[in-house]
Amino acid sequence: MKRNEDGILNADLSHAIASMGHTDLIMVVDAGYPIPDDAWRIDLAVTRGVPSLFEVLEAVHGELIPERVLYAEDVPEMNPDMDEFLRELYDGSAADLETIPHEEVLAYGSEAKAIVRTGSLVPWGNVVIQCGTDPKPWFDGENVTMPEEYRRRYEEIYGESP
């Protein structure tokens, strides 16, 4: 059993997150997302709404450093609860939240390293997460210079200058 009982217990999802590298993509999607046949499908759906998109996004966020999060441009107007959830979840994470056309979100399925299917029936409930890095350990050496973009991320994550 994993030491951290608050972490992800699902073996496939835990493996997928551990396999992510900088700029790799993982998608967390609703029950109706058309997952390509050749995709790494992690199907968590049990029944309608179980598990929820929001529960899975929270669990993934607890173990994956996001750099960029993409979701449908329809969400802020047509599903404001989801928009608020995403903004609160990723607030302070240094992740860039972007809305893009729904068709573009769907197209990311062919690029994602893994696609996690939830039981949610949420309008526009498909989220693309681009994996980032934690700048602190990468630029912790004495003779290493931290680029400006990583300084900004460091400050957003840790609330202080490196």
Quick one: tokens of 157? 């994550």
Quick one: tokens of 80? 């404001």
- 33, 122 Cβ separation under 8 angstroms: no
Cα(78)–Cα(34) distance, rounded to whole angstroms?
21
**How far apart, in Å, are the Cα atoms of 102 and each of 21, 85, 121, 152, 161?**
25, 18, 16, 29, 37
Catalytic, out of 15, 22, 61, 102: 22
Quick one: tokens of 104? 């573009």
22 tagged catalytic: yes
> Which residues are annotated as catalytic?
22
